[in-house]
Amino acid sequence: MSIDTTHPTHRIGAIQGSGPVVWERIEALLHRVIKPGRYVGGEYNSVHKAWDATDLHICLAFPDLYDLGMSNFALMILYDVLNRQPDLLAHRTYLPAPDMIAAMREAGLPLYALESYQPVSTFDILAISTAYEQLYANSLELMDLAGIPIRSANRDVTTPLVIGGGHGTFNPEPIADFFDVFVIGEAEDAILELTGTFQTTRHTSRDEQLRALAQIPGLYVPRFYTPVYAVGGGISDLTVADPALPTTIEKRLMPALPATPVAQLVPNVSTVHNRAIIEIHRGCTRGCRFCQAGAVTRPIRERPVAEIVASAEAVVQQTGYEELALLSLSSADHTGIDTLIRQLIDQFEGRHVSISLPSLRIDSFSVELAEMLSEGRHSGFTFAPEAGSDAMRRRINKDISTEALLSVAEEVFARGWRTIKLYFMIGLPAETDEDMEAIIELSHQVRQIGNRIGGRKTEVHVSVSTFVPKPDTVFQWEPLVDEETVERRQRILKQGIRGRGLKLSWNAYSATKLETLLTRGDRRLGALVERAWQLGARFDAWDEWCNQDAWNQAIAELPSEELRAAFPSARALLDHQLYRRRQPDERLPWDHLQTGVEKRFLLQDYRRSLSGELLTDCREECHACGILHHYRDLQTEEWRCPVLT
């Protein structure tokens, strides 16, 4: 496969007229590319409204392969929410694989939406998922392939309004120059407020339009917020362009979970998670100190069992899917999970529909749930102890003892599973090489249990990733562990975790470093993202396509005046952004975007972490994280926060 690793030579020019790309131009490329079914649309339940009969056209984009994007449930929800509005039309696009990108650039074919083959540049709004950092360079590639200027400053009302959303927006600063608006938090309501304001301001200038949009709660328009940098590289202040604008932006939160999209898109080609999805609850109360998803999605809101069961029937009828996944951050924490599973099993009895339950806890109850759903198949069971020793697990607030874990492992093997996958992190705060020995020992103990109960055919797969200190978590002040330490610890693990029935996999440090840089960086890194993309960085999540050299070169170049002024060398840049412990009183690049979980609480819990103190599940007692204080008016009976007296 040919991969375009240089700055695009075939630029997509201005789009002629506003009609759709004719099918024959697309068809003419399809025999040259792998898996052409990604580029043609035609999914069952895709929505085909008349272009001219709708007032506002919005293109939802996932900036990676169709195979991944079709499995993204956030976009599925927004597709449903938007298309329910009679005057709106929402279509979809994804980033083509490198072979198709090259073919499209060569043929001068702009990126188009799959429903209508309308060029993306002819939509009013382009909404790009910025769910995680590996999508950032791809977002630029997507805009460029659409023929849209990548910098917000270079766009006006003749180009689509480019908005971003997803967990990445809790620190969107490294990509703030490329997006006009970010939706902070849950977008189901905010997106409609955004489209409404867009409609009433479409005849004004882009700047005026953005000023109006910036008044909507939860919408962040980066051009109106300018960081002020201090000597030494930190951020001293944030200036706001207009006194009418808020100085901080609080995330949007749905009081109760929105209705499940029932007519879910059914892809024709295979995708990563090719199944129906029902979100059973949102948020997590476990309080793992490294976990950004758990922190930014609070509070926990639970969908009632009866509603899930009714939706399950409707979704399966309308999609024909043979698998239904119950989505959440921790399935077994749903208070009605046992009843739910029993009812779903009864309901789909004999209909060849399987139920899957990702994100199980390490306890007997979870094993029982998995057993109920296994239909006699026992392929693999996944545990995420995250750390090898009890002490380290207390530090990260993962409340499971080695003893308990081993007893659950025993139960898993006894019930017939042959493989246990163990997920660990290395590079955690205050970790030493001795912690590697704990991971090795635990892996061997689980392996021995497997051997004793299930015999030599049992296996333990150990997956070790490197800890990334994420914004808005208890560990947000922590530095990234250095490369030498990670490589040494990985070597220790490689030596210790081997032998029959043991498999080990790990992450490349380069990927961890890039993720950390983009998740914690400030706005000055925008120049670096743009430069890396120019040098060919894209598909950072793909081993076969990622271009580490492009990133390294971009970092080495310090590709802007601002970066060169602040950092004497690339090393100084990395030290500042990655390798130093941030001060509790320091202004962090994401401080103006608020999750509702207060910094005060995070700091308190950080101190608890240092002394190895566990924090209980907050459904049992409120730890005053700040959510109830900030969002009390939105509280419904779906919330699982304890009642405060």
Partner 1 sequence: MSSPDVMPTTAAGSGRHRITFATSRTLAYLSVLELGKVWERTLRRGGVPLKYSQGFNPRPRMHFAAPLPVGCGCSADLLDLSLDEPRTSKALYDAIAGVMPQNLVVLGIAPVDIHARSLSELLQEAEYSVWLQQVGEAELAETVAAFLKKDKILMPKRGRKYRGKFYDLRPLVKSLTLDPATPLPWLGLRVRVMARPGATGRPDELLRALGLADRPRRSTRTRLILDGEGPPPEAVADGE
Paired tokens of 382: 């996944």
Task: Please tell me whether residue 457 binds partner 1 under the rule CB under 8 A.
Answer: no
Which CB sits closer to partner 1, 36 or 258? 36
Handedness of CA 467, 472, 473, 474 (dihedral sign): positive
Which CB sits closer to partner 1, 29 or 95? 29
Q: Is 282 helix (H, G, I), strand (E, B) or coil?
A: strand
Q: At what angle are helices 98-107 and 23-30 packed, to 10 degrees?
A: 130
Task: Please tell me whether residue 319 binds partner 1 under the rule CB under 8 A.
Answer: yes
Minimal distance, residue 270 CB to partner 1, in Å:
6
Out of 22, 28, 414, 556, point to the residue binding partner 1 (CB under 8 A): 28
Task: Please tell me whether residue 317 binds partner 1 under the rule CB under 8 A.
Answer: yes
Minimal distance, residue 220 CB to partner 1, in Å:
37
Inter-residue contact 631 to 414 (CB < 8 Å): no
Minimal distance, residue 277 CB to partner 1, in Å:
15
Out of 8, 36, 246, 304, point to the residue binding partner 1 (CB under 8 A): 36
Minimal distance, residue 190 CB to partner 1, in Å:
32
Minimal distance, residue 526 CB to partner 1, in Å:
38
Task: Please tell me whether residue 320 binds partner 1 under the rule CB under 8 A.
Answer: yes
Window 220-259: contact mask with partner 1 (x via CB under 8 A): ----------------------------------------
List, in sequence order, every beta strand (DSSP E) within 46-156. Answer: 56-62, 88-94, 125-129
Q: Environment class of residue 239 by beta-carbon count within 10 Å: exposed (0-12), middle (13-18) or buried (19+)?
A: exposed
Which distant-in-sequence residues (6+ apart) come within 8 Å of 549 by Cβ? 535
- Nearest partner of 160 among 192, 193, 206, 194, judged by Cα: 206
Find the radius of gyration of the CA atoms of the chain. Answer: 25
Residues of span 333-372 touching partner 1 by CB under 8 A: 351-353
Which CB sits closer to partner 1, 176 or 353? 353
Q: Report the 3 state secondary structure along 98-110.
A: HHHHHHHHHHCCC
Task: Please tell me whether residue 116 binds partner 1 under the rule CB under 8 A.
Answer: no
Q: How many of the chain's residues bind partner 1 (CB under 8 A)?
A: 33
Which CB sits closer to partner 1, 46 or 476? 46
Window 394-433: contact mask with partner 1 (x via CB under 8 A): ----------------------------------------
Minimal distance, residue 268 CB to partner 1, in Å:
6
Minimal distance, residue 42 CB to partner 1, in Å:
3
Find the DSSP H helices in 108-248. Answer: 136-145, 190-201, 206-213
Task: Please tell me whether residue 40 binds partner 1 under the rule CB under 8 A.
Answer: yes
Minimal distance, residue 302 CB to partner 1, in Å:
29
Out of 239, 268, 364, 636, point to the residue binding partner 1 (CB under 8 A): 268
Minimal distance, residue 456 CB to partner 1, in Å:
21
Identity (one letter) of the amino acid at 428? L
Out of 248, 270, 339, 401, point to the residue binding partner 1 (CB under 8 A): 270
Out of 203, 377, 456, 500, point to the residue binding partner 1 (CB under 8 A): 377
Stretch that binds partner 1, among 40-48, 328-336, 503-511, 546-554 (CB under 8 A): 40-48
Which distant-in-sequence residues (6+ apart) come within 8 Å of 312 by Cβ? 276, 278, 324, 344, 347, 348
Out of 7, 19, 37, 565, point to the residue binding partner 1 (CB under 8 A): 37
Minimal distance, residue 41 CB to partner 1, in Å:
6
Out of 1, 23, 108, 202, point to the residue binding partner 1 (CB under 8 A): 23
Which CB sits closer to partner 1, 26 or 396? 26
From residue 557, alpha-carbon distances to 184, 229, 330, 573 in Å are: 32, 20, 43, 11
Which CB sits closer to partner 1, 34 or 306? 34
State how far the Cα of 542 lies from the Cα of 421, in Å rounded to an integer.
Answer: 22
Minimal distance, residue 360 CB to partner 1, in Å:
21
From residue 530, alpha-carbon distances to 144, 174, 483, 525, 612 in Å are: 11, 10, 25, 9, 42
State how far the Cα of 48 lies from the Cα of 45, in Å rounded to an integer.
Answer: 9
Out of 106, 156, 375, 621, point to the residue binding partner 1 (CB under 8 A): 375
Which distant-in-sequence residues (6+ apart) come within 8 Å of 484 by Cβ? none
Pairing of strands 276-279, 281-282: unpaired
Task: Please tell me whether residue 109 binds partner 1 under the rule CB under 8 A.
Answer: no
Which CB sits closer to partner 1, 352 or 500? 352
Out of 12, 15, 21, 43, point to the residue binding partner 1 (CB under 8 A): 43
Which distant-in-sequence residues (6+ apart) come within 8 Å of 347 by Cβ? 309, 312, 313
Q: In this structure, how many other beta carbons lie within 10 angstroms of the beta carbon of residue 257? A: 23
Inter-residue contact 161 to 50 (CB < 8 Å): no
Pairing of strands 161-165, 181-183: parallel
Minimal distance, residue 324 CB to partner 1, in Å:
12
Which distant-in-sequence residues (6+ apart) come within 8 Å of 85 by Cβ? 192, 195
Window 297-316: contact mask with partner 1 (x via CB under 8 A): -------------------x
Q: Summarize as ranges the residues that interact with partner 1 (CB under 8 A).
A: 23, 27-32, 36-37, 40-44, 46, 266, 268-270, 274, 316-322, 351-353, 375-377
